[in-house]
A = this chain, B = another copy of it.
Amino acid sequence: MDSSWDDLTLTFSHTSMFPFFDIAHYLVSVMAMKHQPGAAAIARKNPVSSWLTAMLHCFGGGILSCILLAEPPLKFLTNHTNVLLASSIWYIIFFCPCDLVSQAYSFLPVQLLAAGMKEVTRTWKIVGGVTHANSYYKNGWIVMIAIGWARGAGGTIVTKFEQLVKGDWKPGGDEWLKMSHASKLTMLGSVIFTFQHTEHLAISKHSLMFFYTIFLVTAKITMMMTETSSVTLGPFEDTLSRMLFGWQKQFSWCETKLSSNGTGSSASKPVPDASQNVKKKHNKKTE
C-alpha cells in the first residue's frame, strides 16, 4: 500500500486510550452494572461494595489475565489515574442528582458512540495481552491466545463469578457454556493477532489493528441498531462445527443403534439429569 495509508494506520495504532477511550469503557461498564436489578439501591446501602463491583466491571479483564499469569491481581490499583477516573465515573453515574448521566446515556447516539469507543479499547487490550504473554513464554502461542482473550473479554467472567459468590446468580449449567458474541469476536481477534505476532500472517500489526477495530466497531454498531446478536459469526461457526464435529452424522445409523441398546456411550444412556441434554442432542441429530 502507499506510504500515506501506512502513515494513517500507524498513527491510528499509536493513538493513546487515555483518557477518552478509557472513559468510554468505564462509562459503558458501569452503566451495564447499574442496569442490574438493585444495583443503585446497593450503592446507597453499601457504597464500598458497590465501588468494588464497579472496579471489577472496569478492570476485570486485566485482573483475570493477571491471575492467569500469576501476577498480583491488585496490579491495576497501582495505576492511580485510571482507578480515580473509574471511581469518579462510578460516583457521578450512581450519585449524580436527578440521575442526569443515566438520562443522557439513555439517548441512542450517546450509547452508540460510547460502545464504539469501548470496542476500540478492546483491540488495544487484545494486542497488549498477546504481547505481554509473549514476553513470558516465547512462542507459547496457546498462552498468547488465552491471555489476549482474557484481557479482551475476561471482564464478563470475573463479574459473573462475583455475582455467583454474592449469591445474586445461580448458574444453570448453560450460562457458562454459551460464550457471548463479544467474547467470540475477542477470541477470533486474539487468534489473529497471535498468528500475526508469530509471523504466520504477512500483514503489519498496525494495519491489522486498524482493520480489526473497524470490524469490531461496525459489528457492534449494527448489532445495537438492529437488536440482533451474533449475526456476523453465525454461518462461519456453523461451517466450522459441521466440519469438525458434524461429519459423524453420516454414521448416525450406528449411533441410533447404540442409543437403542445403549452400550458404551454415556450420552446415549438416559441419565435423569442429562435427559434434556440427550433430548436436545436427539433433536439435533434428527434435524
User: Residue A278 at the B interface, CB < 8 A?
Assistant: yes
Q: Is the CB of B67 within 8 A of A271?
A: no
Q: Is the CB of A277 within 8 A of B143?
A: no
Q: Is the CB of A70 within 8 A of B66?
A: yes
A237 CB to closest chain B CB, in angstroms?
A: 11
Q: Could you give, for residues 53-88 of chain A, a 1 whenever the CB lies within 8 Å of some chain B CB and a 0 otherwise?
A: 000000000000011111111100110100100000
- The residue from B49, B140, B268 contacting A78, defined by CB atoms under 8 A apart: B140
Per DSSP, chain A at the interface is helix
Contacts of A168 in B (CB 8 A): 173
User: Residue A225 at the B interface, CB < 8 A?
Assistant: no
Stretch at the interface among A4-12, A111-119, A213-221, A244-252: A244-252
Given A97-B251, A251-B97, A72 contacting B161 (CB threshold 8 A):
no
In this complex, the member of A67, A95, A97, A266 whose beta carbon has the largest number of chain B beta carbons within 10 angstroms is A266
In this complex, the member of A36, A40, A179 whose beta carbon has the largest number of chain B beta carbons within 10 angstroms is A40
- The residue from B42, B251, B274 contacting A277, defined by CB atoms under 8 A apart: B42
User: Residue A14 at the B interface, CB < 8 A?
Assistant: no
A66 CB to closest chain B CB, in angstroms?
A: 7
A243 CB to closest chain B CB, in angstroms?
A: 11
User: Residue A265 at the B interface, CB < 8 A?
Assistant: yes
Cα distance, A41 to B278, chains bound together (Å): 6
User: Residue A46 at the B interface, CB < 8 A?
Assistant: yes
Other A-B contacts than A74-B146, A167-B172, 6 sampled, CB-CB below 8 A, are A40-B267, A41-B277, A46-B179, A68-B74, A77-B146, A98-B251
Per CB-CB distance, the 10 closest pairs between chain A and chain B, nearest first, are A40-B267, A38-B274, A37-B274, A41-B277, A38-B277, A167-B171, A37-B271, A97-B251, A102-B264, A98-B254
